[in-house]
Amino acid sequence: MESLVLTPRLAGLAALVPQHARLADIGTDHGKLPLSLLLSGRIASAIGSDIGAGPLEHAAHNAAEHGVSLSLRLAPGLDAIRPEECDTISVAGMGGQTIAEILAAAPWTARGDHLLLLQPMTKIYELRQWLWEHGYDIQQETICREDRRRYVILSVRGGAACRSRALAQCVCSPALLRAEGAEDYLTWLLSRERHVLDGMQQANVTDAAQLTQQRRLISVLEQAREALI
């Protein structure tokens, strides 16, 4: 029997799912997140959706082994989910651009009826910008550490006014700066972005705008971290 012990990243996500929620887990893979929540009695129901048949077969096997009822859908994003079937949606382990595309293809997520738990692996600045520009409110950010990496989980609801935000807020949102562990996260992020700049300079990148943008990003992170110390 496969263990349903969650990684720190998924455990952080699970902790944000409300009691008695009706969860739709997008990109469910082997179904560990919804299955662990069902087994603990934390949620009322769960749907696992994935674009791959193989992972869903594994999820079905895990559900059967643990004696849990898990509705599984083979589809991209939220294409096979009806709004009335869930009140909480988790989208984890994908790039920020992919997450934005999933939400854009399901405009009902912007109405504010659903809690969205989003865990982007890349392009988090761009995802924040997209969310604000399309009427989503970032209510909370949660930082978790897994091995050497840090991850951020965005707790989001629709129903907000659409607005554009400056780069500084997309890099360091108010919710991020309120999060436990924000100083450590910004230190890690600053080190990563400095490494990116060093790589650009060593590769003799001649795009002045690209170099200026990276230096500005580092400056924003430095100022934000300094304000927290």
Structural domain includes residue 60: yes
- DSSP structure string for 130-197: HHHHTTEEEEEEEEEEETTEEEEEEEEEE-SPP----HHHHHS-HHHHHSTTHHHHHHHHHHHHHHHH
H or E element at residue 88: strand 88-94
Q: Is residue 192 situated within a structural domain?
A: yes
Cα–Cα distances in angstroms (integers) from residue 26 to residues 49, 59, 188, in the given order: 5, 13, 28
Percent of the chain residues topping a pLDDT of 70: 99
Instruction: Please indicate, yes or no, whether residues 19 and 113 belong to a single structural domain of this protein.
Output: yes
- What span, in angstroms and rounded, lies between the C-alpha atoms of 137 and 118? 12
Scan for tokens 């990148």, then name that residue.
Answer: 205
DSSP 220: H
CB 116 within 8 A of CB 156: yes
Whether residue 129 sits in one domain with residue 84: yes
Query: ∠ at Cα 185 (36, 103), nearest 5°?
Result: 55
**How far from 196 is each of 130, 189, 190, CA to CA, in Å?**
23, 11, 10
CA 142 to centroid of chain Cα atoms:
10
Q: How confident is the model at residue 99 (pLDDT cuts 50, 70, 90)?
A: very high
- Asked whether residue 2 is assigned to any structural domain, the reply reads no
Structure tokens at 143: 């930082």
The answer to whether residues 64 and 151 belong to one domain is yes
Is residue 36 one of the residues assigned to a domain?
Answer: yes
pTM score of the predicted model? 0.95
Structure tokens at 95: 């790039």
Cβ atoms of 70 and 63 closer than 8 Å? yes
**Full residue range of the structural domain in which residue 202 is found:** 185-228
Asked if residue 135 and residue 62 are part of one domain, the reply reads yes
Residue 136 near residue 110, CB atoms below 8 Å: yes
Total number of domains in the chain: 2
Residue 110: φ, ψ to 5°: -90, 0
pLDDT digits (tens, 9 = 90+) for 153-199: 999 999 999 999 888 889 999 999 999 999 999 999 999 999 999 99
| 116 falls within a domain | yes
198 plus 99 within the same structural domain: no
pLDDT of residue 137 exceeding 80, the answer is yes
Asked if the model's pLDDT at residue 2 lies above 70, the reply is: no
User: Does residue 126 form part of some domain?
Assistant: yes
Shared domain for 190 and 90, answered yes or no, is: no
4-58 pLDDT per residue, tens: 889 999 999 999 999 999 999 999 999 999 999 999 999 999 999 999 999 999 9
Q: Does 27 share its domain with 119?
A: yes
For residues 27 and 93, give the distance between their C-alpha atoms in angstroms, rounded to a whole number. 8
Q: Are residues 121 and 213 in the same domain?
A: no
pLDDT at 203: 87
| Parallel/antiparallel/unpaired status of strands 71-74 and 88-94 | unpaired
Q: Enter the tokens of residue 18.
A: 């409300």
> What is the token pair recorded at 72?
């599984």
Query: Is residue 88 domain-shared with residue 137, that is, in the same domain?
Result: yes
